[in-house]
Amino acid sequence: MLFLMKTLRFTTLPGDGIGPEVMEVAVKVLQKLGNLYNFSIESSSHDVGGIGIDNHGEALPESTLAACKKVDAILFGSVGGPKWENLPPKEQPERAALLPIRKAFELFANLRPGNLYPELCDLSPLRSDTVANGIDTLCVRELTGGIYFGQPKETTTLDNGEKQAVDTMVYRTEEIERITQLAVNAAALRDGRICSVDKANVLETSVLWRETVINCVQKLNPNIELTHMYVDNAAMQLVRDPNQFDVLLTENMFGDILSDELAVICGSLGMLASASLGTQKNSFDLPFGLYEPAGGTAPDIAGKGLANPCAQVLSAALMLRYSFGLEEAAQSIENAVKETIRAGLRTGDIAMGKKATGTSEMGQAIIDRLQ
Ligand code: IPM
Ligand code: MG
């Protein structure tokens, strides 16, 4: 029998701060997993963010973009840091790298799982009786539309010399339909509930959003339990009882805000992964995607071998799941991380005063638990 080994082609964009050290762990995990699940990896590393500015004069260098166009997925680290903080907002590494890369690959669907293991429930700022059993929700955020990209987007000077700035929040039906479809698929694999978040009491875009989501869910899968919530109420409900939500579906800016709220409720940014899926199919006929940890570059601990690699490793698991169709391998990573935490290993961000483990030791503990 001919046994074909799958080759996973992706770029790694480690970026700044702790990015490179946690990326190193994620690649090691993938290499080890390849032996167990019979795949090989072909990855190349490129500059993005602050290091892109330093080495190429741009946060998203042409050469990096070109390399990403040749592969099936991007494993992203994190970008930014004090060195580039005084640049004008448009040139800051976060914005100047992430927004164009999202646009370039039309990464319209941002999946941010909000997971808190029961073992880590004391990390959550929420009352322990609220989160004693952990948290398991998924935020599905529209990522290439709305007020982030709508035109006009400009600052002008009025006749009286006063300045005026405008951002435009705009959505087309099709943009809402494709993100809803994704949320429906995700919910069907979970508890089958979607709460769509909008501001339909005030915003036209939200009226269209709600109407389109209702029609779409009805058509795609009427078994999904669909509810709606205004964004201000959703922000409140999230801290009151995060587990009332299975899948939260929302537009770009609301999702930006709510996903950070969800992240802090889940205790440590060092544990949270995310996937941004595009409209294009890769060579496996699966979505091209960008996978990145939710946390930042943590410049205070960068280069010290103290960073938590879990979010980067879990992002690699999402890459295996969505862009390479390797569900079992993805679960193997997720279980290994869970077992590592269960065994009591903790990096500083999740140690709660107990003895902290370093980045590579944590990585090795995960690798040892891959099955
Ligand atoms: C995020 C970030 C970005 C966003 C910024 C850095 C442009 O906050 O990924 O949530 O607002 O989308
Ligand atoms: Mg954000």
pLDDT digits (tens, 9 = 90+) for 293-309: 998 999 999 999 999 99
Q: Is the CB of 143 under 6 A from ligand 1?
A: no
Residue 347's pLDDT band, with cuts at 50, 70 and 90, is very high
Long-range contacts: 359-363, Cβ < 8 Å, 24+? 359/18, 359/21, 359/22, 359/25, 359/305, 359/306, 359/307, 359/308, 359/309, 360/25, 360/305, 362/25, 362/308, 362/309, 362/310, 363/24, 363/25, 363/28, 363/29, 363/309, 363/313
Q: Is the pLDDT of residue 86 over 90?
A: yes
Whole-number pLDDT of residue 3:
65
> Is 241 a residue of the active site?
no
> Is 199 a residue of the active site?
yes
- What mean pLDDT do residues 156-180 have? 98
> Is 69 a residue of the active site?
no
> CB-based contacts of 124: which residues, under 8 Å, 6+ apart?
116, 130, 131, 135, 265, 266, 267
Nearest atom in ligand 1 to the alpha carbon of residue 252 is 12
Alpha-carbon distance 69 to 59, whole Å?
17
| Span 24-60, pLDDT tens digits | 999 999 999 999 999 999 999 999 999 999 999 999 9
Task: Note the ligand closest to the C-alpha atom of 274.
Answer: 1
Residue 161: Cβ within 10 Å count: 6
Task: State the sign of the Cα–Cα–Cα–Cα dihedral 9, 109, 24, 38.
Answer: negative
- What mean pLDDT do residues 202-214 have? 98
- Distance from the alpha carbon of residue 113 to the mean position of ligand 2, in angstroms: 14
Alpha-carbon distance 220 to 248, whole Å?
17
Whole-number pLDDT of residue 2:
58
Q: Is the CB of 94 under 6 A from ligand 1?
A: yes
Q: Active site residue: 16, 72, 117, 148, which one? A: 148
> Is 230 a residue of the active site?
no
Q: Mutate which of 60, 98, 261 to test ligand 1's pocket (most atoms within 8 Å of Cβ)?
A: 98
Q: Active site residue: 122, 232, 241, 300, which one? A: 232
Task: Give the residues across from 168 on adjacent strands.
Answer: 150
- Distance from the alpha carbon of residue 257 to the mean position of ligand 1, in angstroms: 9
Closest to 231 in 3D by CA, of 208, 261, 274: 261
User: Which of helix, strand or coil describes residue 258?
Assistant: helix
- What mean pLDDT do residues 72-82 have? 98
Which residue CA neighbors atom 12 of ligand 1 most closely? 256
- Distance from the alpha carbon of residue 210 to the mean position of ligand 1, in angstroms: 24
> Is 260 a residue of the active site?
yes
Q: Mutate which of 16, 94, 253, 272 to test ligand 1's pocket (most atoms within 8 Å of Cβ)?
A: 94
- Distance from the alpha carbon of residue 140 to the mean position of ligand 2, in angstroms: 13
- Domains belonging to the chain, first-starting first, are 1-108+268-371 (3.40.718.10), 125-265 (3.40.718.10)
- Distance from the alpha carbon of residue 256 to the mean position of ligand 1, in angstroms: 6
The model's pTM is: 0.96
Whole-number pLDDT of residue 285:
97
- What mean pLDDT do residues 138-144 have? 98
- What mean pLDDT do residues 279-291 have? 97
Q: Active site residue: 199, 246, 291, 349, which one? A: 199
Residue 4's pLDDT band, with cuts at 50, 70 and 90, is confident
Longest dimension (CA), the chain: 79
Nearest atom in ligand 1 to the alpha carbon of residue 95 is 7
Give percent of the chain with pLDDT exceeding 70. 99
Contact 139, 309 (CB under 8 A): no
Q: Is the CB of 334 under 6 A from ligand 1?
A: no
Percent helix / strand / coil, the chain, rounded to 5 = 45, 25, 30
User: Which of helix, strand or coil describes residue 226?
Assistant: strand
